């Protein structure tokens, strides 16, 4: 008896629900007929924030050196930051010289200084993945280790930037492997090399750095500097002289080809 009574109660509830559905459907049909354009109105696009977990378009796995500004283009690249002491000074110099650059950031540095990452992006510069911990022996490590260094850094930099993904991958010390290049490219990060090493990491003096750039710029367009890893006052001084000199020679500043 109790089971029969229960089935009757469920039956009445189902009938009521069907009645509500029917009324809703009729109301929707009447609304569409009364306002025929409403039915054809496209839905507003949904903004989906960029994420390193989203599928991205692959790029070439070949190491790029060329500039998107052509034969007279120069790519200024700044490695190992961001750094609270030196990155703001480099950004100011780039602004004064109307120059865009590519910042190859270490994941832990980006995570520690997200405001600086956002400043770099806001100024129109591009981001490059320089791994989590800048291990220059990465090419001797396992694929699992390389993958963690690259993918974790990608997430850290993207989060710090507010959703802007790095467009390039530069192996620390140039320690690329076929695997790391292919992995980076599959994530939309073009492997990035360099043609001119300013040697600023060794702190040879600003004059020596400037002389190196002037003598080696004919080797190719991508020039390597650093904005972290210690005292970068020599780098700042060298950039202050190099940037206007390059423009005087007829070069224009661009980004590495994607």
Q: Which residues on neighbouring strands pair with residue 34, listed in sequence order?
A: none
| pLDDT of 54 | 59
pLDDT per residue over 27-79, tens digit each?
Answer: 333 333 333 333 333 333 322 334 445 578 899 999 999 999 999 999 999 99
**Residue 17 maps to a domain:** no
The answer to whether 99 and 67 have CB atoms below 8 angstroms apart is no
The answer to whether 67 and 180 have CB atoms below 8 angstroms apart is no
| pLDDT of 53 | 53
**Residue 20 maps to a domain:** no
Please report, for the domain that includes residue 246, its CATH number: 3.20.20.370
**Residue 12 maps to a domain:** no
Q: Is there a catalytic annotation at residue 226?
A: yes
Q: CA nearest 212: which of 232, 193, 229, 234?
A: 234
**C-alpha 129: how far from chain center:** 7
| pLDDT of 56 | 84
Give the range of the structural domain holding residue 131, as residue numbers without chain letter: 73-253
**Residue 56 maps to a domain:** no
E-strand stretches of 15-100: 73-79
**Residue 5 maps to a domain:** no
pLDDT per residue over 166-192, tens digit each?
Answer: 999 999 999 999 999 999 999 999 999
- The domain tally of the chain equals 1
E-strand stretches of the chain: 73-79, 101-105, 126-129, 168-169, 190-191, 196-197, 222-226, 252-253
Cα atoms in the Cβ-side hemisphere of radius 13 Å centred on 111: 12
Rounded to the nearest 10 degrees, the angle between the axes of helix 114-122 and helix 87-96 is: 10
Q: Is there a catalytic annotation at residue 125?
A: no
**Residue 239 maps to a domain:** yes
How is residue 3 written in tokens? 């089971």
pLDDT per residue over 125-170, tens digit each?
Answer: 999 999 999 999 999 999 999 999 999 999 999 999 999 999 999 9
**Residue 163 maps to a domain:** yes
Query: Which candidate in 113, 125, 134, 226 is catalytic?
Result: 226
pLDDT per residue over 197-252, tens digit each?
Answer: 999 999 999 999 999 999 999 999 999 999 999 999 999 999 999 999 999 999 99
Q: CA nearest 211: which of 198, 224, 228?
A: 198
pTM score of the predicted model: 0.80
**Residue 210 maps to a domain:** yes
For residue 192, give the DSSP letter. B
Query: Which candidate in 79, 80, 152, 227 is catalytic?
Result: 79
pLDDT per residue over 3-25, tens digit each?
Answer: 333 333 333 333 333 343 433 33
């Amino acid at each position: 008896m109790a089971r029969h009574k229960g089935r009757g109660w469920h039956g009445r509830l189902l009938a009521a629900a069907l009645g509500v559905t029917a009324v809703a459907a009729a109301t929707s049909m009447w609304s569409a007929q009364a306002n025929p354009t409403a039915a054809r109105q496209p839905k507003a696009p949904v903004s989906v924030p960029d994420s390193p977990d989203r599928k991205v378009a692959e790029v070439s796995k070949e190491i790029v050196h060329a500039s998107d500004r052509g034969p007279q283009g120069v790519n200024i690249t700044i490695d190992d930051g961001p750094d609270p002491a030196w990155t703001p000074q480099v950004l100011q110099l780039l602004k004064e010289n109307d120059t865009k650059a590519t910042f190859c950031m270490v994941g832990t540095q980006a995570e520690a200084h997200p405001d600086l990452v956002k400043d770099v992006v806001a100024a129109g510069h591009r981001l490059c993945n320089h791994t989590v911990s800048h291990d220059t022996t990465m090419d001797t490590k396992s694929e699992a280790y390389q993958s963690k260094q690259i993918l974790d850094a990608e997430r850290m930099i993207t989060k710090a930037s507010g959703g802007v993904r790095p467009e390039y991958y530069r192996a620390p010390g140039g320690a690329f492997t076929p695997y790391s290049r292919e992995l980076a490219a599959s994530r939309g990060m073009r492997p990035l090399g360099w043609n001119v090493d300013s040697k600023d990491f060794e702190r040879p003096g600003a004059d020596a750095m400037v002389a190196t750039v002037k003598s080696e710029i004919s080797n190719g367009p991508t020039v390597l500097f650093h904005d972290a890893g210690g005292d970068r006052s020599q780098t700042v001084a060298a950039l202050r002289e190099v940037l206007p000199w390059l423009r005087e020679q007829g070069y224009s500043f661009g980004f590495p080809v994607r």
